[in-house]
Amino acid sequence: MSLNEPSTAIDDEQRRRIGEAMTQADLALPQVWLHYFSITGTVDEYEIDAYLNRMIALPPTECDKLAHAVNELIDDIPPRPRAPFRDEISP
Amino acid sequence: MNDPLPANEIAPIIGRADGLLLTEQTAQQAVSALAAVAKEAIPHAVGAGVSLITNNHPTSVGATDRLVRRADELQYDLGDGPCLSAWSEGKPMYIPDTESDQRWHSWSQAASDATGIRSCFSVPLQEGPRRLGAMKIYAATPGAFTAQDQHVLAHLALSAAVLLGHIQDNNTPQRLSERFKQTLRTRDTIATARGIVMEQYDISEDEALAHLLTRAGNEGVSLHDVASTVLLRDGRPESSTEPR
């Protein structure tokens, strides 16, 4: 983990959007970390927390694993119910 | 996704990952250490320990000395005593002198006769709303414990309660371990697939994972699914069937 390297614009953008995706989807950190861990994530939950709070940088691979973990969890969220047309309702 | 969220499960999993699994055994060892600290830190204490009460059934944990276990057993046999009261009322209990004590008369007499214990201080172990038991110190002299000593024990009891509260939280060990095993199985599958891909394409670990991530993205499936496919193909080259 690179603690002292200055973060790049890409780092910041990815971090911000991961955080935003989590907030939007109402994903809690423990849940995200567990999933991240299951896809071979190697850093601890508190480090993810620190990363999301812009306190440390993570290696690019870990950032991508985290992003992927978040996306899989978002994919798992059941879609909102849709309104049916009349002929879709069986009598 | 409607599982109650894993705050309680995460700690043990991190613990396992770090080789610091908070099993009942390790928690009890930690509590034993706290009891030993209590005995050492409190000048006149001749013994310390914890009574853990589960489903109204008390057991002694981390008793520093035989007399602690005997005095505890007397409480359990009589169904009365300062630790049981500390637990049931959620308040610290103090016996300045067992020979003149009236409140737990039977126990005080028995303990004084059998073990020579003359004073006792017991604090409830509380984790959130749950009362787990009590932590106690015994002394062979009357009025042995100062307010400062009581303060020390109360502090140690806080730590003991957190430790013991955690193992009791895992009252659903089946579910916990099932979830944990699943997490590890997934992780294992992905790591194995990553290894296969590294070998296949002669690329680094990170590149192999990036490769799998890209495939998952392109195929619109989970990383676990991609990894399972890689494993299936590797194990059974003729198999081009769907994973699972």
ipTM of the complex: 0.80
Nearest Cα neighbor of B123 from B167, B159, B97 is B159
Exposure string of B224-236, with b = 16+ CB inside 10 Å and e = fewer, is bbbbbbbbbbbee
The whole-angstrom distance between residue A21's C-alpha and the CA centroid of its chain comes to: 6
Domain boundaries, chain B: 7-169, 173-235
Average pLDDT over residues A2-12: 71
* Arithmetic mean of pLDDT, B43-57: 89
Has residue B239 got a pLDDT over 70?
Answer: no
What's the structural domain count of chain A? 1
Q: What is the pLDDT of residue B31?
A: 84
Q: Which fold has domain B173-235?
A: Arc Repressor Mutant, subunit A (1.10.10)
Asked if pLDDT for residue B173 goes beyond 90, the answer is no
Parent domain of A19: 9-76
| pLDDT recorded at residue B7 | 46
Task: Check residue B23 and give its pLDDT.
Answer: 63
Of B12 and B71, the structure prediction assigns the larger pLDDT to: B71
Residues B74-96 pLDDT 10s: 999 999 999 999 999 999 999 99
Cα angle B27, B129, B28 (rounded to 5 degrees) comes to 10
Q: Is residue A33 part of a domain?
A: yes
Q: Does residue B110 or residue B174 have the better pLDDT?
A: B110
pLDDT in tens, B123-158: 999 887 888 899 999 999 999 999 999 988 998 898
Residue B7 has which token pair?
């705050």
Answer whether A42's CB lies under 8 Å from A83's CB.
no
Mean pLDDT computed over every residue of chain B: 83
Subunit contact B224:A39, Cβ cutoff 8 A? yes
Is B152 within 8 Å of B38 (Cβ atoms)?
Answer: yes
CB within 8 Å of chain B, chain A residues 56-85: 59-61, 64-65, 68, 72-73, 75-77
Mutate: best of B5, B10, B18, B186, partner A, most A CBs <10 A: B10
- Residue B210: count of CB within 10 angstroms of its CB: 18
Instruction: Provide the pLDDT for residue B30.
Output: 80
Which helix (DSSP H) or strand (DSSP E) does residue B48 occupy? strand B45-54
Reported CATH class of domain B7-169: alpha beta
CA dist B157 and B135 (Å) reads 6
Q: Measure the CA–CA gap between A1 and B5, rounded to whole angstroms.
A: 28
